[in-house]
Amino acid sequence: MGGSLTPAAGGRTYENVAPATGEVIGVAADASASDMTRAIGAARAAFDESDWAHDVGLRVRCLRQLHDAVKARLDDFKAMTVAECGSPVLLTHGPQVGTPLRFLTWFADRYGERFWQRLREELADAPIATTAAPASSEKSAPLDQAPTAPTLQAPASAPAMRPRTWLSARSGWLR
């Protein structure tokens, strides 16, 4: 927190146990609600008092630096994932390690393209459809009748596609 590794309040820890072997493979800080509050405060201060919130170049450099550091120790990250989560090795090449690693460069590339500004502009006037949730005293609705989260609705002139596909086809920058 605040740029340094800190122990949990009161020094509490827990053992990290490998699910496949039952072996203790590490010890980690056992964070409490007060630790979470301190971490949120440190993050808020970093956002408010540093260039992080406004310096896109800094964020891009940090994402690329993190990508390079993880890639340099990719085998270690895969081994830790297998040991800590019991993940099959095959999944470390995709959803457990490989895909998140690729997303670091994807986000860095999008920052450079002003992706997020364009997305905000694209969605600023998009109509939003919502369904009201039932009152808490009502019974749960069957799954096919359950309320849904807000969704994007394409204009009537848009082709009949999922919203992400419609945005991709319309703007050419969401792939």
Q: What is the pTM of this model?
A: 0.59
Higher pLDDT, 171 or 24: 24
- In angstroms and rounded to an integer, the radius of gyration of the C-alpha atoms of the chain is 22
Q: What is the pLDDT of residues 26-78, one digit of tens each?
A: 999 999 999 999 999 999 998 899 888 888 888 889 999 999 999 999 999 99
Mean pLDDT, the chain, whole residue set: 77
How far, rounded to the nearest angstrom, does the alpha carbon of residue 45 sit from its chain's CA centroid?
21
CA 66 to CA 7: how far, in whole Å? 23
Q: Which two tokens stand for residue 98?
A: 């490989």
Answer for the pair 29, 13: CB distance below 8 angstroms, yes or no: yes
CA 175 to CA 162: how far, in whole Å? 13
CA 74 to CA 96: how far, in whole Å? 12
pLDDT band at 127 (very low <50, low <70, confident <90, very high): low
Whether the pLDDT of residue 145 is over 90: the answer is no
Answer for the pair 122, 171: CB distance below 8 angstroms, yes or no: yes
Domain boundaries, the chain: 1-50, 53-124
